[in-house]
Structure 1
Amino acid sequence: MADSRRLKALGWIAALVLLALLAWTASGPWRAVAGIREAVQAGDARALARHVDFPALRASLRPQVQDRIVRAAGVDAQSGAFAAFGLTVATGLAGGLVDAMVTPTGLAAIMEGRKVWERAANVPPPSRAGTSAAPEPVPAPRLRFESFSRASATVSLDDGDELVLVLTRHGLQWRLSDIRLPPA
């Protein structure tokens, strides 16, 4: 009788531990977005780096930026050999630009509405119209799960477009791994 009670108690403890672990994992995207927001507001690049998978983020942004350059150049830029060479150089430079921007300092500057060199020079972030307060990084995201290991946080921008931040789970930790830019 005592063994069955002990076994039953161990079963309940195991179920509670499993439930707590699931709750911790499920709350990960919210905690990651809050951590990103706090790190940007505090100007703590090291804390921001804990919440961002920089190699994956660079890999996801590079083709998006290059695609925008090709689309902006139009069909005429691809018709001649010299124009095609220029377009190739421009897309290569875009890859370098993404590599330079997707750093803790660059990402924090983007989320604050500043340019990277303004953040590096300690130029204060721009204020919202009618207020002296700096804009809040990642303001009011709408979070949703895409799968058990992937969630997205959609942020409405001032111009009406939406920016989608994709968080990926690695073990028990959620990290920003992709940013889906709004349509050009």
Structure 2
Amino acid sequence: MNFDELWSLVTRMIKHPKFPAIAGAGAALCVGIGVYASPYLTFNSMQSAVEQGDSAAVAKNVDFAALRSSIKAEARVKIANQTSENNPMAALSTMMAGPFIDSMVDSIVTPEGLTALIRQSSANFVPERSKSNVVSIGSNRVMMRYESLNSFVVTLDENDVNLPSELKSSSLSLLFSRSGLGWKLTGVRI
């Protein structure tokens, strides 16, 4: 087939009365697939950036103010739940832990700190893709799912051998929120 025959075929297709509808449906399908896959792509790009130690690339995918607030709130709730209501010293220690938590989270939750923390906890992980929303990373399982149209959750398996013992009784979830056309890490659930 030479160029003239090909051009003739293309012009006949474009002039077909159903071409705009077919082209529009094809474009809508491509956009829909892109929108659905975008949080998965964000997580994968973040994972690659961590593996390469690229703090700037990690920072593009994180809303640090929202993440810090989320971690502080989760830590306060965890401490409050572990203290005894009848012990007056427990209330004092909970009250004193607030400023300590704030300063610790503010110093750790930076692009470099977050990259180092994730990199240290995920050393030697090799992702094994499956057809479901569960990804095996080494001996760990990561489940990814939409929580709502604007919220995406990545949950680490509660039996993850690399999690600290205090987290093994619960799961650790990374919360991603839609930010324009992309997604950003905005919180955690412990």
Instruction: Check 1:19–1:73 CA distance in 2 against 1; reply closer, same or farther (3 A cut).
Output: same
Do the aligned partners of 1:70 and 1:91 also contact (CA within 8 Å) in 2? no
Normalised by the length of structure 2, the TM-score is 0.71
Larger radius of gyration: 2
Partners of 2:118 and 2:29 lie apart in 1 by 34
The aligned residue for residue 60 of structure 1 is 70
Count of residues in correspondence between the two structures:
159
The letter of the residue matching 1:150 is: S
Q: Does 1:43 align with 2:53?
A: yes
The aligned residue for residue 162 of structure 1 is 171
Comparing 154-163 and 171-180, the one that deviates more: 154-163
Query: Aligned runs of 1:1-184 on 2, under 5 Å?
Result: 8-77=18-87, 79=88, 84-113=91-120, 134-135=124-125, 139=137, 140-156=141-157, 157-158=160-161, 160=168, 161-181=170-190
Q: How far 1:71 moved relative to its partner?
A: 3.1
Partners of 2:96 and 2:24 lie apart in 1 by 58
What are the ranges of 5 or more consecutive residues in structure 2 without an aligned counterpart?
Answer: 1-11, 128-134
What are the ranges of 5 or more consecutive residues in structure 1 without an aligned counterpart?
Answer: 115-124, 128-133
Q: SS in structure 1 opposite 2:62?
A: coil
Partners of 1:113 and 1:43 lie apart in 2 by 11
Q: How far 1:146 moved relative to its partner?
A: 1.0
Normalised by the length of structure 1, the TM-score is 0.73
Do the aligned partners of 1:113 and 1:135 also contact (CA within 8 Å) in 2? no
Partners of 1:14 and 1:55 lie apart in 2 by 40
Q: How far 1:177 moved relative to its partner?
A: 1.2
Partners of 2:65 and 2:17 lie apart in 1 by 47
